[in-house]
Structure 1
Amino acid sequence: MFDFRDLDRPIIGAPMAGGPSTPELAAAVTNAGGLGFLAAGYRTPEDLAAQLSAVSALTGGPIGVNLFVPDAFQPDPALLDAYVASLRPETEALGVEVGQPRYDDDGWDAKLSLVLDARPAAVSFTFGCPDSQVLKRMADAGILPIVTVTTSAEAEFAVAAGARALAVQGPGAGGHRGTLDQRSVPTDDRLEDTLAAVRSVTAVPLAAGGGVSGPSDVVRLRGAGADAVQVGTALLLADEAGTNPLHRAVLAGGQFAGTSLTRAYTGRYARGLTNRFILEHSDAPAGYPHLHYATAPLRKAAVAQGNADVAHLWAGTGFASARPEPAAKIVEALA
Structure 2
Amino acid sequence: MTRNATNEATRILGIEHPIIQGPFGGGLSTAALAATVANHGGLGSFGAHMLAPERIGTVAADIRALTDRPFALNLWVSDHDAGGDHIDPDTFERGWRLFEPYFRELGVEKPRPGPAERGHPRFEEQVDALLEARPPAFSFVFGIPSPAVLAECRRRGIATIGAATSIAEAQALEAAGVDLVVASGSEAGGHRPSFLARAEESLMGTFALVQLVSARAKTPVIAAGGIADARGVRAAFALGAQAVQIGTAFLACSESGTNDAHRDLLFSERAQHTTLTRAFTGRLARGLRNRWTEEMASHTGELPPFPTCGWFVSKLRPAALAAGRTDLISLWSGQIAPNLRHRSAAALMQSLLQDLGRPEHPHEEETPA
Same fold (TM over 0.5): yes
Which residue of structure 1 aligns with residue 16 of structure 2? 8
Q: Does 1:41 align with 2:46?
A: no
Measured in 1, the distance between the counterparts of 2:248 and 2:123 equals: 26
Is the aligned partner of 1:329 residue 2:347? yes
Find the counterpart in structure 1 of residue 190 from structure 2.
175
Match of 1:191 in 2: 206
Query: CA 1:98–1:9 in structure 2 vs 1: closer, same or farther (change >3 Å)?
Result: farther
The partner residue of 2:319 within 297, 301, 319 is: 301
Instruction: Note if 1:260 corresponds to 2:275.
Output: yes
In 2, Cα distance between equivalents of 1:255 and 1:332? 27
Shift of the 89–105 alpha-carbon distance from structure 1 to 2, 3 Å rule, reads closer
Aligned to 1:314: 332
How far did residue 134 of structure 1 move? 1.4
- Residue 132 (structure 1) aligned to one of 138, 141, 147: 147
Q: Is the 8 A contact 2:165 2:204 kept in 1?
A: no
Matched with 2:233 is 218
SS of the residue corresponding to residue 222 of structure 2 reads: strand
- Partner residue in 1 for 2:107: 95
Displaced runs of 4 or more, over 6 A: 76-80
Q: Secondary structure at the match of 1:272?
A: strand
SS at match of 2:223: strand
Residue of structure 2 equivalent to 1:118: 133
| 8 Å CA contact retained: 1:13, 1:36 | yes
Q: Which residue of 2 aligns with 1:158?
A: 173
Aligned to 2:158: 143
**Contact residue 175 and residue 271 of structure 1 kept, 8 A:** yes
Q: Is 2:252 the counterpart of 1:234?
A: no
Partner Cα distance (2:271, 2:345) in 1: 24
Q: Show CA shifts across 1:115-144 (max 9, x none).
A: 222322210111222222211211221111
**What 5-or-longer segments of structure 2 have no aligned partner?**
1-6, 354-369
- Report the number of matched residues: 334
Partner of 2:362: none
Deviates more, 1:113-122 or 1:141-150: 113-122
- Which stretch shifts more, 320-329 or 241-250? 320-329
- Displacement of 1:184 after TM fit? 4.0
Superposition map of 1:57-76 within 5 A: 57-75=65-83
1:28–1:36 Cα contact (<8 Å) kept: yes
SS of 1:124's equivalent? strand
Contact 1:250 1:256 in 2 (8 A): yes
The alpha-carbon distance between structure 1 residues 278 and 98, as it changes in their structure 2 partners (threshold 3 A), is farther
SS state at 1:320 partner: helix
Structure 1 residues 105 and 243, CA gap change in structure 2 (3 angstroms): closer
What is the CA–CA distance in structure 2 between the aligned matches of 1:73 and 1:85, rounded to whole Å?
20
Unaligned runs of at least 5 residues, structure 1: none
RMSD value over aligned CA atoms? 2.3
Q: What is the aligned-residue identity percentage?
A: 34
Note if 1:291 corresponds to 2:337: no
Please state whether the residue corresponding to 1:281 is helix, strand or coil. Answer: helix
Q: CA distance change for structure 1 residues 214 and 150 in 2, over 3 Å: closer, same or farther?
A: same
Does 2:30 align with 1:25? no
Larger Cα-atom Rg: 2
Q: Indicate whether 1:278 and 2:293 are aligned.
A: yes
Distance 2:291 2:326 in 1: 9
TM-score (norm 2): 0.83
